[in-house]
Amino acid sequence: MGWAAVVLAARRADALEETAKECERFGGQALAVPTDVADVQAVEELARRAVERFGRIDVWANRAAVTVFGPFSEVPLENFRRVLEVNVMGYVHGAQAALPYLRDQGRGVVVNVSSLVGVVSQPYVRSPRREVVVGAMGRNLVKQSKLAPGLTERMMAVQVDRAHLSRKERAPATSGDLYEPAPGSGSVEGGWHGRRKTAVRRTATAAAMIGLIVGARRVLR
């Protein structure tokens, strides 16, 4: 079994070189590429150099993150934007840079690393309030996601695939309402596709939750 070959990316070139030397001392191969993940061209260059040096990408890990602390009304807007550019768009840039190589290879993994605070909130307010989920369906889904997150993700994937995507007919490429409001007078519907389908979904969700509880009890016995 050979040692790993790694490509190291961060903003500080000196820290990268030091880490690369440490990897090599343990018998691995390392390439240091100073990169700001908020810069899409820099991330694309990172992927290109990785393939140029090692021939392929087996695992691409997105884990860069920054944070900002301060009174909300006093933090400059550019600081908020910087957090989003690194913590959100940095992951988008990384995935878009790596995926073409992974597709050509026919294999590979993209790992998105999240902080614990992405799951456990940190309410820096004097009197925090719990979130309010509107509708029985929404409340059931929240409960189900806590009991069985994997199953809930698969269920939502099926729902999105059926309701929003088509394998037969390609939709025209448009910017939608990203930059301009949608045409027409607009409308608001009560429920989720009518009372009948909402009732069916509630029943199915309740049955799934009961099945999860019964299964969990069997496992714990």
pLDDT for 196-205, tens place per residue? 666 666 666 6
Two tokens, residue 126: 């004097």
Please indicate whether residue 215 or residue 121 has the higher confidence score (pLDDT): 121
d(Cα 79, Cα 67) in Å, to the nearest integer? 9
Structural domain spans, the chain:
35-124, 131-164+195-221
- Beta carbons within 10 angstroms of residue 27's beta carbon: 9
Q: Residue 1 above 50 pLDDT?
A: no
pLDDT value of position 165:
82
Reduced to 3 states (helix: H, G, I; strand: E, B; else coil), residue 67 is: coil
- Helix, strand counts (H, E) of the chain: 7, 4
Question: Could you read off the pLDDT of 31-47 as tens digits, one per residue?
Answer: 999 999 999 999 999 99
Q: Residue 79 above 90 pLDDT?
A: yes
pLDDT band at 18 (very low <50, low <70, confident <90, very high): very high
* Class of the domain covering 35-124: alpha beta
Residue 13 contacts residue 64 (beta carbons within 8 Å): no
Output the pTM of the full model: 0.76
User: Average pLDDT in the 163-186 region?
Assistant: 80
**Residue 87 — left, alpha, or beta (φ > 0 → left; ψ -120 to 50 → alpha)?**
alpha
